[in-house]
């Protein structure tokens, strides 16, 4: 494949990027979304138990589309919800000839050796398309091509893992079960390549993935001369979920997180609503996403209209985000609109829900450890 790791370089000097990142899906009971068949090893039990405990968000990759001078970005629309991120590009080819480019979406890296990887919010851990990425061009679904590369100890080991018969998704139950069926020699080879460790669980040793998975989906794109082309895309959100007792809002870790989201007023509003919900509701449910919104470098020119919509899906959910021009547009909706804009901003979105045990199906936390782990900008 001639080192197709260069897929990240599809973003040329005059490129167009929207990097979406987030923090998890709606809160689940422990084990929700896990496989329903009985697990065959202690490792698969551990994977299923972690499925409902998403404390760490993935840094989601970017939709990459080179934007030469012939292509005018007339509109960029982004919609963020706690469940997914959607994008819409309207591009006009000013040339008298068709322009052919490559479009790609680089998924977040899955690094099984990273601390806390077991608590990472992976929307569809069993699937090759684990972000649920999909795209359309002028309303027609795109046939995506995928690239997957596995690394161990800094070297590409894709073929070695494939030859062993193990799926590349390091968090999938199927992967753990496949590793548990390998011969001692096969496990030794994978361990020597830096792809697995052997962990002791009780009286037995269990193979544990330690590889890095890089994934991208891409397709060739033609922009007809003198015409508009509309590209839409969507993917599931990776959202961290946590709860914070009202009495602990001022603790350093929480305060730093709230400052990063310009959340002072939002937190106070949510806290007041929680108190009004009655005894036992003195806590906040917090879901976080991180996005990078960019129209590309200034040399690519501005976008005609950029619209950002944040839709909470519920009237009592409050949004906090540090971005100028973001205003409430109705119950549960916030919107920002800019014209002739050049944007290149990191956006941290915090969805804050006042404690409401009956509707949210979860009791308040016993201690601060249940709160989302602070994440660096």
Identify the residue with better confidence: 39 or 273: 273
Range with top average pLDDT, 40-44, 304-308, 343-347: 304-308
pLDDT band at 376 (very low <50, low <70, confident <90, very high): very low
pLDDT tens-digit readout, 142-159: 999 999 999 999 999 999
Residue 84 banded pLDDT, cuts 50, 70, 90: very high
pLDDT, tens only, 193-217: 999 999 888 888 899 999 999 999 9
pTM higher than 0.75 for the full model? Answer: yes
pLDDT at 102 > cutoff 60 = yes
* 252-311 residue pLDDT tens: 677 777 888 888 778 788 888 887 877 778 888 889 887 778 777 677 788 899 999 999
Q: Higher model confidence: residue 77 or residue 59?
A: 77
* Least-confidence region, from 21-35, 177-191, 288-302: 21-35
Instruction: Tell me the residue length of the chain.
Output: 377
- Name which residue leads in pLDDT, 164 or 362: 164
Query: Hey, is 262 helix, strand or coil?
Result: coil
Query: Could you write out the DSSP letters of every residue in 97-147?
Result: S-EEEEEEEEPPPEETTSTTGGGB--SSTTSSSTT--EEEETTEEP--EEE
Contact in structure between 290 and 349 (CB atoms under 8 Å): yes
pLDDT confidence of residue 375: 44
Q: Return the higher-pLDDT residue of 168 and 293.
A: 168
């Amino acid at each position: 494949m001639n080192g197709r790791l260069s897929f990240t370089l599809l973003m040329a000097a005059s490129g167009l990027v929207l990097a979406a990142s987030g923090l998890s899906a709606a809160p689940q009971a422990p084990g929700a979304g896990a496989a329903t068949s009985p697990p065959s090893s202690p490792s698969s039990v551990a994977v299923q138990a972690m499925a409902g405990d998403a404390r760490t968000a993935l840094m989601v990759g970017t939709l990459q589309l080179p934007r030469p001078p012939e292509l005018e970005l007339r509109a960029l629309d982004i919609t963020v919800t706690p469940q997914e991120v959607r994008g819409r590009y309207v591009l006009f080819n000013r040339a008298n000839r068709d322009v052919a480019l490559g479009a790609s979406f680089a998924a977040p890296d899955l690094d099984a050796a990273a601390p806390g990887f077991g608590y990472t919010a992976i929307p569809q851990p069993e699937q090759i398309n684990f972000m649920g990425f999909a795209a359309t061009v002028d309303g027609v679904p795109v046939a995506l091509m995928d690239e997957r590369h596995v690394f161990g100890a800094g070297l590409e080991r894709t073929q070695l893992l494939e030859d062993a018969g193990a799926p590349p998704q390091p968090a999938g139950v199927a992967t753990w079960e496949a590793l548990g069926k390998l011969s001692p020699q096969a496990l030794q080879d994978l361990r020597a390549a830096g792809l697995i460790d052997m962990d002791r669980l009780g009286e037995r040793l269990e193979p544990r993935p330690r590889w890095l998975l890089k994934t991208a989906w891409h397709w060739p794109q033609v922009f007809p001369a003198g015409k508009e082309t509309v590209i839409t895309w969507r993917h599931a959100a990776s959202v961290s979920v946590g709860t914070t007792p009202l009495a602990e809002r001022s603790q350093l870790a929480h305060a730093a997180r709230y400052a990063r989201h310009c959340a002072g007023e939002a937190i106070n509003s949510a806290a007041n609503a929680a108190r009004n919900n009655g005894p036992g509701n003195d806590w906040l449910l917090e879901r976080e996403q991180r996005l990078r919104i960019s129209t590309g470098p200034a040399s690519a020119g501005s976008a005609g209209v950029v619209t950002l919509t944040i839709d909470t899906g519920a009237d009592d959910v409050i949004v906090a985000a540090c971005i100028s021009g973001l205003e409430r547009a109705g119950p549960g909706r916030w919107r920002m609109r800019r014209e002739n804009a050049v944007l290149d901003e990191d956006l941290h979105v915090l969805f804050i829900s006042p404690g409401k045990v009956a509707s949210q199906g979860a009791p308040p936390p016993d201690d601060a450890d249940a709160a989302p782990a602070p994440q660096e900008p």
